[in-house]
């Protein structure tokens, strides 16, 4: 399979698997097909006004109690109504709303007749047997108040959570035998007692009664849609918010991550009331409502500033106006101030004002993003445009203008916000990677150009250095030949012209000149800091002369450390010094044996020449001959020194050389003339 086809095949398989999972889940949500559950779409309703709210509903009902209440309320009979059933809610709070303790309350009775269910599969026989497997499932009951369930006038359930939030978003799911402590038959009549704030209105969905295996999948599916998705999404957005906050701490200049972190915080706060309230709240209900109501306004403000970072030309005055609206809302609805009626009375109006304020803000920034062609801005503003109908739908449900069979869409729409942020993060990440790759390419090109430039400069420098090195070596060789062999030949020529040079003397002069030339050539060979190799070269060149002079050579050279500073120029100095020393032994000492030895010392090495001749008494340096002076100067040129010492058996000459050459005295070759043997 081609890569492109494989890339399309994998997402297709994932989508197909997801669709199969959803289909299987929906099929399971229908329950067992062999069992039947009855859906009540009709019920009898009785409303009692002006009641006093009570935390404890009656444990048992009496017919006289219901009849008396109905008579007092001016309603002689129960009313047959269709389910879902709603009673209106006041959108605008009035002066009589006041505090919950002083506000008028009502009780709404809803009655279901179960006597016709005996023929249902799975319920037949339960009237005579036990009813422990029969359940009541109510997808939604919503009001500000409490609910109690009676089976044949016996209390089997009552809500225990907060009066505002316990009925908001949780389906009612309970066995018809109550707590199951005693064996009871299937009840004949079910009654719901809904005690609520009159101005808050209420809503009741259709009701289901049937075996647990038939109803539980429906209940689980409904609970997933109504509360669990919201809980899951809240944790998901908090995780993304924490991630965005960490990114912002590392990249303080990009405020978009901080804004999204704040945005996810308000999203999590806004989502609390979708899955909290069944149990008592950890904080007072008034403050919980203040947080949930104002988190909507805070979401609108942070969303606008978040999108404004993606759309640089977004109008700033809109954001400032929304921020002012948020500040006013936070202050005037604060429970501690009690400026307005309680939040449960103000919530419909507050949400409506938020929608009316958000509509022009969303449309304005969406239009600006479209004009600028910003993909990220268009995506973020599109999420805002999607949120508008979602907010309107949820507001209609909150005020019972939409069917209570529906679900609140805000938790589901959170997915769009998560997708938006993930897309923006991935887009920025991919963009950053592309920028890094392009920067690396540019850097590589610049580095290649610099390398080529450095290579060209290095080649030119090497060429210049080679020319300079050749020039220096040529000058050095010319100078050395001129001062050494040339001087010696000139001296011999003058003596020969005067008729004072015999043939043997002429041969010796020529032989010395040839040896001198060979040593000069040998100094050009690489010695790699090896003094012994240099001494071996000297031995090879001078050994024939020593044999001709009947001078026996004792070679006692031992291994010594390498001299890292040894180069051709220094090698020639050392050869000249030792050549002069050996020539002095051959010409003046009258010796029959010459010992050549090396020795390692503390800071250097020594080359020692020891003969068994007549001895030698060196004169002061200023009175020394030309040959000795040149030896001293050459030793100083390489950082070493020469010494002579008379011994009982002859004369010892020592050349000391340093291991490390910290400083070398400058020495012009023009001052180092080769000593003429005939001078």
Whole-angstrom Cα distance, residue 315 to residue 318? 6
- Report the pLDDT value the prediction gives residue 219, as an integer from 0 to 100: 93
Whole-angstrom Cα distance, residue 616 to residue 585? 10
Of 107, 277, 88, 279, whose CA–CA distance to 191 is shortest?
107
Averages of pLDDT over each 10 residues, the chain, 679 residues: 42 44 46 66 89 84 64 60 90 55 79 74 45 83 91 89 79 80 73 89 92 90 88 87 90 87 90 82 85 89 90 88 88 77 75 89 91 86 88 90 90 83 82 88 91 90 81 67 61 65 69 68 62 82 80 88 83 84 83 89 88 70 62 87 86 89 49 38
Q: 448: how many CB neighbours lie within 10 A of its CB?
A: 10
- Per CATH, the number for 32-221 is 2.60.120
- Report the pLDDT value the prediction gives residue 82, as an integer from 0 to 100: 94
Whole-angstrom Cα distance, residue 152 to residue 71? 22
* Consecutive H or E run containing 392: helix 375-398
- Report the pLDDT value the prediction gives residue 207, as an integer from 0 to 100: 94
- Per CATH, the number for 466-671 is 3.30.565.10
The pair of structure tokens assigned to 435 is 């920028």
Please, which residues bridge with residue 112 across strands? 190
- Report the pLDDT value the prediction gives residue 10, as an integer from 0 to 100: 44
The pair of structure tokens assigned to 260 is 């999204």
* pTM for this predicted structure: 0.62
Rg of the Cα trace of the chain?
55
- Report the pLDDT value the prediction gives residue 485, as an integer from 0 to 100: 61
- Report the pLDDT value the prediction gives residue 28, as an integer from 0 to 100: 47
254 in helix, strand or coil?
coil
The pair of structure tokens assigned to 489 is 């030949």
- Report the pLDDT value the prediction gives residue 74, as an integer from 0 to 100: 44
Give me the numbers of helices (H) and strands (E) for the chain, helices first please: 15, 18
- Report the pLDDT value the prediction gives residue 564, as an integer from 0 to 100: 84
* Consecutive H or E run containing 606: strand 604-611
């Amino acid at each position: 399979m081609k890569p492109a086809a494989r890339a399309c095949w994998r997402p297709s398989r994932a989508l197909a698997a997801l669709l199969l999972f959803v289909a299987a889940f929906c099929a399971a949500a229908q329950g067992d097909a062999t069992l039947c559950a009855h859906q009540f779409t009709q019920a009898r309703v009785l409303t009692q006004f002006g009641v006093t709210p009570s935390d404890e509903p009656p444990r048992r009902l009496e017919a006289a109690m219901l009849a008396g209440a109905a008579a007092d309320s001016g309603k002689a009979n129960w009313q047959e109504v269709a389910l879902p059933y709603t009673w209106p809610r006041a959108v605008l709070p009035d002066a009589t709303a006041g505090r919950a303790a002083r506000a008028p309350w009502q009780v709404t009775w809803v009655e279901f007749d179960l006597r016709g269910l005996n023929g249902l599969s799975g319920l037949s026989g339960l009237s005579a047997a036990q009813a422990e497997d029969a359940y009541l499932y109510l997808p939604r009951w919503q009001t500000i108040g409490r609910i109690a369930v009676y089976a044949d006038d016996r209390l089997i359930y009552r809500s225990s959570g907060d009066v505002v939030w316990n009925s908001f978003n949780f389906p009612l799911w309970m066995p018809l035998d109550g707590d199951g402590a005693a064996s009871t038959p299937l009840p004949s009549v079910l009654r719901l007692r809904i005690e609520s704030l009159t101005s808050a209105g209420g809503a009741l969905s259709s009701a289901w009664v049937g075996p647990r295996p038939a109803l539980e999948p429906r209940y689980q599916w409904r609970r997933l849609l109504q509360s669990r998705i919201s809980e899951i999404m809240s944790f998901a957005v908090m995780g993304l918010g924490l991630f965005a906050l960490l990114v912002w701490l590392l990249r303080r200049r990009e405020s978009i991550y901080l804004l999204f972190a704040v945005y996810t915080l308000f999203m999590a706060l806004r989502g609390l009331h979708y899955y909290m309230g069944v149990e008592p709240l950890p904080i007072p209900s008034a403050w919980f409502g203040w947080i949930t109501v104002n988190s909507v306004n805070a979401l609108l403000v942070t969303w606008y500033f978040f999108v404004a970072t993606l759309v640089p030309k977004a109008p700033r005055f809109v954001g400032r106006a929304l921020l002012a609206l948020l500040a006013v809302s936070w202050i005037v609805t604060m429970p501690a101030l009690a400026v307005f009626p309680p939040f449960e009375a103000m919530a419909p109006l507050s949400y409506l004002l938020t929608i009316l304020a958000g509509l022009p803000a969303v449309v304005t920034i969406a239009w600006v993003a479209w004009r600028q062609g910003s993909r990220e801005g268009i995506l973020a503003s599109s999420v805002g445009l999607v949120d508008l109908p979602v907010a309107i739908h949820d507001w209609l449900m909150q005020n019972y203008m939409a069917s209570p069979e529906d679900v609140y869409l805000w938790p589901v729409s959170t997915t769009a916000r998560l997708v938006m942020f993930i897309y923006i993060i991935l887009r920025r990440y991919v963009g950053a990677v592309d920028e890094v790759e392009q920067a690396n390419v540019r850097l590589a090109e610049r580095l290649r150009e610099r390398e080529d430039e450095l290579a060209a400069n290095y080649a030119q420098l090497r060429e210049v250095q080679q020319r300079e090195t050749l020039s220096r070596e040529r000058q050095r060789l010319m100078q050395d030949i001129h001062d050494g062999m040339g001087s010696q030949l000139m001296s011999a020529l003058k003596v020969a012209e005067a008729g004072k040079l015999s043939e043997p003397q002429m041969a010796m002069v020529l032989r010395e000149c040839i040896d001198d030339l060979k040593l000069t050539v040998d100094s050009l060979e690489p010695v790699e800091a090896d003094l012994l190799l240099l001494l071996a070269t000297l031995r090879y060149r001078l050994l024939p002369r020593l044999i001709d002079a009947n001078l026996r050579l004792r070679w006692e050279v031992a291994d010594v450390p390498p001299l890292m500073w040894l180069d051709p120029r220094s090698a020639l100095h050392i050869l000249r010094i030792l050549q002069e020393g050996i020539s002095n032994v051959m010409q003046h000492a009258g010796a029959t044996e010459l010992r050549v030895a090396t020795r390692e010392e503390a800071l250097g090495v020594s080359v020692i020449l020891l003969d068994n001749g007549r001895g030698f008494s060196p004169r002061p340096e200023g009175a020394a001959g030309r040959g000795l002076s040149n030896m001293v100067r050459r030793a100083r040129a390489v950082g070493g020194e020469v010494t002579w010492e008379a011994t009982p058996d002859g004369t010892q000459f020592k050349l000391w050389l340093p291991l490390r050459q910290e400083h070398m005295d400058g020495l012009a070759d023009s001052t180092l003339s080769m000593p003429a043997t005939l001078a």
